[in-house]
Structure 1
């Protein structure tokens, strides 16, 4: 059912038929219940509404009788009794007075926001609900009737105010009638004065003021308000009759653009300033906040459809309109001329908002006003510049977001997260910013509108759910709800971007679509190759669809996703051109990465890493041969720049797609297998092994020799590489061959023999200026120095190696060296410095992934410092990462198992210690001599715990034999040595130790086995 109180009390059925309600008292009772529809009305209020201050005896019983009578005429259950009062169980949306009040509030809000057109439409809808005086046929409760009349009049005044802000203005005749009916309402009188003045009737406007002044003096003995007096003075001076404040009211706090606000404050001497940026960047809010302290007029050009209406919109916002009647002999004055005349002597800031769709006309207006009105300045907002001489541009970049892994304490420093936190707290009290919310801000590219829309979704979803839906559905579907009172094109993220798209020419749309294939931006050369016309690119920069900075062009992520949808619809082959360009770039860079220019090319490829990954993804899906070439060409870049993990998933998918190695791309297949490790299958490793063993020519990608040695280990194919069969005759290949042979000597335990080769490789790499090879040689020499006890030399070599790897950004190898240096520092006895290296490696691992070596270093340090529980946890985690069967980790597993054995010794658990040490011995490769030495020393510790000092001394000697030199400073070795001497005596210890140390390598291995 529907109910009406804005006029005679009426009730309509669902079919629209009138439902009779008879009797003055029951009708009055129904009116009272309708005014509080859906809420409990106490009996005392019903009595007061019916009878006033002097209710008769038995009034409560009378109310009950009236209710019974009402119930007979209305559907059953509509009037409910709840002990202390009655409730009319209807939706307020079915009662005209509640609909009216809601619309009146919406209209007032739109008016305060500067949306005059929308405010006028909503307020007209509200006032059309009135069918006459409220409750005209209900003779009771006059106070409520008076309240409704006042609300109606206030809404009428708001409608007049909205109409005064429109180019067509309002009816002066209707305004006169309203003023005559309400002669003491100053707001109405001021509106009449403004309307008359705008229509060219200055004398009539002044007379309306005089009439109001006399009435106030005669009736109230008062003077006009300051606002009315100011308006009178403005009309006397011939200036625009406008209200004192024309800026949209702030409905939320201002967050995130404080630096730009300060910059605008410093530009107040500039007469034309234009805020540029993509939709949703916060241009309007920044402009209004900047203008709030001065004499400013806000003009929203968004509703304007034709350029010729721009001047009229400004006239309307100022309250200056054209005179009413014109003839061919006396045509209407040009709106722009009338505007410059009205502003000629004014000091004013005009905020021209949303200029992009009428940019030419807005520019013409700005030029005319700035030329003819020396006291007027303009602050414009637009997605492209107005293009006038003297224009100062203030581009709005996305809000800064915290980088991944930033500590929680830093989030308050970043505008994007501060904005999200404040808006989220408004809809979810008690909200606390977390890592998921910070990631949402980053995923939304720091767009203020997108962040506000995402925060608003916390009314319905948790932060984790918002993040998940953003990842699954993308921003446009998630952020599909916004402020209902906003203009349609500002209500959702999709609408904002679609509006920008609609303003582009077909040629601009084509380039924008194609540009969406770039990930992380692009150079001009790349854009011209993939997208076409570079001149159109400049137009897209001007229109804030693309950002240009630092020699690169970038599309904001939300815009890029929108354009990518348009690209998919078009069938354009931009992805193929993108792949071709970046394959060519990778192939050109590959050999240059092994020369002195490697830093330049690493920097260039790092800048294009997003594009390279996108090209790989597209190639894996669409062109397997191109994918193999690209993954192979990027192998040295991925390795040198510490980006190995980025290639694993794509390489594994490609291997699954191609099956057998394609003809002519066998070498590329091997590199793909190497980059897919540890996800490559045994069958794929087998095929790669066959290819390596069958190659009888120089490698097209010489870095494959290094990767095979590092990943697959020093097997027979590596030996053939060392003989030079696969490596070339260039200086880098010769240096790598020397380095490889020396490193294999280290693995075999021939540390002293490998040293001259390492020194030679170091000299050759330094001569080339190649940092990666130099760092490898320095690291190996440092390890020898630390084993020898040359602590200062070891630290110096490691410091230099780390410096070179930091230049490259090789995170994986930086962590490796930090862990090895930590081990050397621990043997030296400097556990504080060792701890600093382990912590740094740990911090890096949190963002790059957990190499097993880092976990082992943490565990070893914790064990030496007596933190046995932490050590055990780290050793056990390391076992999960150090998978058996891979050369890169097979040397780590015995170290982990030995460490667990030593912890069991500390606990006094001999059975567990035997088991761990037995696993370490069974796991250790007979080719990795230094790891076997560690196993021997672990076995020595177990022997000591079992009371066999002589065996402990003997096994320590075996360890020394395997290392090929004396081990100095190791805490465990020192402990075992002291314990063994105590058990067997110094002389017997020396003899047993010497017996073990004198063993040949083969005999030492046999003694362990």
Structure 2
């Protein structure tokens, strides 16, 4: 039989039929016996617990026992033992035992990292509960103590289950449950910490930090205590996690032999703004720069340039390391380049910029460093290179090989890591290190071989390898000569399957997860693990990576083996499959899950596109670009792929390739044209290919069936919004209002809403935007939802409903924060300031100031201009005409006249300047400014600009 006391007392026979236990007295008696099955419970205690304070006689108790026996039948024995009774049932037949057993297993699985198993076990355990423990013994003091213990175990199991679900990335589903748990247990810190983690994973730090503050206040008010060290540490991590630039890579080994150099270079940097560490490859420049960065008092941004293939990509590499992104929600062309964004972001920032491995792009690094240092007075640069940058004011620090004693210490340290208890004759180790030119990288690679070789064998093999290296080509590149011999020697110690996997791994520009590496390299997981053991690969964050010097050598071996094209093609196919798999999720609930996945593959995706373009694999290149389009625009990084799209279009000529002018393939070509247009160099190509792209896109979306790339419709409309013949793009998107794809239907209604506005149908536009917002929201698309909420807020403000406008803008802001969109958040803060300015001047000023700070941090002149325009509006309201004119002038200088998102702010800026002139009595100047404002938009759109009534009358056509 099965028994349950986690709730009302119940029993079931083996066939599943429930036993009719009778009244409360019998259920209480059974519960008392089941609390400790098999143990004797005295008759006196049974009587007292069943009827506290009463007078249950021995005869009455015996009668209840008899009736309970009759109800349970012969399958269960209730025995008389001395002065009491006991029930004879196996412990596993009682739900309490099963609950404690399952929770113990679940907790063990959680400790071992088996999170999915932990969730399953703990869910099963918690599912045993049907109400309060020992519910039929509510008046029993003994049972009450047992119930308190069980309830505590239940709460711990619930926390463990939620912990496991958070590890599995299921943060959205647990937030409501955690909120209720924190409400019921406001002084319990673990649920508060779990809620902070879930909220942070779902939407960033703001909501999570609010939970910490509320918990801290309750602890202080009710207990006079501070939060635990664990909760404080979590709070500090969240405070800094959202905006830190790329930190120097974490080191897993000790630092040997250069402590004095660290102090001297750090001291040099206090007086010099540009220091370059120079020396041969493998000498330890990168490690020295990391150690110097760790002791500086300034903020540090570490930029690894080894993977950079062209100097033109350098500014965007710096933008990425600084965590500055392209605009995600309002994608359209704009004139400002990445260098200007860098200058804007760093102009007033105290920062040490570490540029590692500059030698292959030394001229571009020198040019950019000179400009940044000249325009950003608080910036300092620490570079590592095999040659100087060649700038006036550059301080060179020659990084030399280790001395003999330090080399032996390094070899000994790494040897002990490879083989426990390693010792050797110091003179033999000194000979080995000297043969390796005392280069740290060579020493570490040699010491790693001590896993399988003793030191005497190592010395003998090393002599052989040096002989081969000495007979190598004198024409080899100087920077490769020593490292080539080291890597070649390490390479030759690999088995043939290991060499095959290692040379194929060279195609991964940013590392790879095991599954991808196995597929592309056509190898086994054991082989990859072996390569990691032998220091040919590194493992970090669940990804395999290869040092760049080793990867360069492996790439040469791949070419020599004649496998380059086949492996590159397999690599491109892998990336294409990945982006195709991710694509639909990026426009739905899976956005936050899949964006980081593709971000981790960004370098490899770019490398795959670049190879397909260079190899004239035009079809695959187009398919890669098209499948990646949702990621590129939502993440805000289309500019990084624009050069490849431009190169592809140049290779194609003036027409799409064969097969891509048909309805089934036109979208890939059109998306390539859109990508090319995102770069300034691609604008002539946009004019040349725009008509062809429009035709192929229209053929792919005829209206009676959907195409394959829904995002193409929205992007096409956004890019064409500023074109003179925008109606063709508008009609194409609007025609999809009955498309089977719900995301496309939402886009069509969003675009149709602007058509209704252009015709003066504000109510119709409201309905269409609302329907679009509902559609995006139902799909879980934060990008589309934020777009439509922002527009609905403008409509609400235009009709005077500022409360609704602010609420809608707040919702949009929460979404942009989840996407990590600094520029979009700045834009929405300006919009909220515009909604607030009529009622709460202080709140509006705070929003404009915060928007300006975000825009400066992002290096965005457009959103900085919008914030300055808002502050100009406030200065005008305060009758400070000179300050208003100054702010409007600065805004107008920064606003891009060719970017559709700047349109509203340009109208408001011209109108503001008109009001300044009018306040000074210069009516002619005011009329000219109003004319400039009115010329930018149709009369029906002017009320949506949030202009005062007097200004609306002035700018409206007469």
TM-score (norm 1): 0.46
Where relative contact order (Cα < 8 A, 6+ residues apart) is larger, the structure is 2
TM-score (norm 2): 0.48
